[in-house]
Amino acid sequence: MKYQNLLTTFENGILTIEVNRPKALNALNKDTFSDLKQLFEKDAHQIEGLKGIIITGAGEKSFVAGADISEFSSLDTKDAMALSKRGQDIFKLIERFPKVVIAAVNGYALGGGCELALACHLRIAGAKAKFGTPEVTLGIVPGYGATQRLIQLIGKGKAFELMMTADMIGAEEAVQLGLANHVVAQGEEVTKAKELIEKIAKKAPVAISKIIELVDDYFDKTKDGFQKEVEAFGYLAETEDFKEGASAFMEKRKANFQGK
């Protein structure tokens, strides 16, 4: 897999992606979005034995410090809407990806970087992680989903406060608010993310993919989440994973899931 601004490694079934523009604190420019699109729309679906994906930032300082502000200067309304929609669509690919995707937040996660982390299923914060949505400082609003996803994770009051003040919060506060799942020592984010992926990979893969869909469906105003749950429950009943999981329980052994 060749990308302009992403470094990837695949080891023991885990794909680790580093957003690699450290001189710009890994800000997301057009090329980086193209890379993410190619990866989450096509490439990652073709990896055999994929257990999960970790997204982190290159360098010591930053996960992703936002959208690349240098690309903003000549935007008119039409361009800005297209930019926002494209970013949202690409982050949606991450949110709906059928294997667990974890943000290993190793520094600044601001604006579009915070939104990238929000689109992942789980977030691990290193001790020096900083989360924030500083868009109002620039005279804009978040454009890659934070106005919607931040409320889902931390509630309306705190989401208002973060988006209106543009304050940054640290790792401990992010965990207290529910924005991050765990805080770990700086530099241990990817290790912790791998540990979680290994744990999740022992569970039935088709059921995990349905959990991802169903939780996302809850927030889709056009869908009836309870009905979606009934359908997923029915679908899973006829999978080999379910037969294996139930047999393993009855036979008092560990299940050996095939993801079918």
Binding flags for ligand CAA, 137-156, as an x/- string (CB under 6 A)? -x---xxx------------
Do the Cβ atoms of 7 and 26 come closer than 8 Å? no
Out of 115, 238, 240, 251, pick the active-site residue: 115
Cα–Cα distance for residue pair 5/16, rounded to 1 Å = 14
Q: Which stretch binds ligand CAA (CB under 6 A): 2-10, 61-69, 120-128, 249-257?
A: 61-69
Do the Cβ atoms of 222 and 34 come closer than 8 Å? no
Question: Using the rule CB under 6 A, is 107 a contact of ligand CAA?
Answer: no
Residue 62, judged by CB atoms within 10 A of its CB (0-12, 13-18, 19+), counts as buried
Is residue 135 among the annotated active site residues? yes
- Binding footprint of ligand CAA, residue count (CB under 6 A): 21
Smallest gap from Cβ 88 to ligand CAA, in A, equals 9
The secondary structure of 165-204 as a DSSP string is H---EEHHHHHHHTSSSEEE-TT-HHHHHHHHHHHHHTS-
Q: Which stretch binds ligand CAA (CB under 6 A): 22-30, 199-207, 228-236, 245-253?
A: 22-30
3-state helix, strand, coil split of the chain in percent (to 5) is: 50, 15, 35
Contacting residue, 115, 189, 217, 241, with ligand CAA by CB under 6 A: 115
Q: Which stretch binds ligand CAA (CB under 6 A): 24-32, 48-56, 189-197, 247-255?
A: 24-32
Is residue 41 among the annotated active site residues? no
When the beta carbons of 110 and 171 are compared against ligand CAA, the nearer one is: 110
Question: Using the rule CB under 6 A, is 68 a contact of ligand CAA?
Answer: yes
Out of 135, 231, 238, 251, pick the active-site residue: 135
Cα–Cα distance for residue pair 38/151, rounded to 1 Å = 28
Do the Cβ atoms of 186 and 126 come closer than 8 Å? yes
Q: Could you give the residue numbers annotated as active site?
A: 115, 135
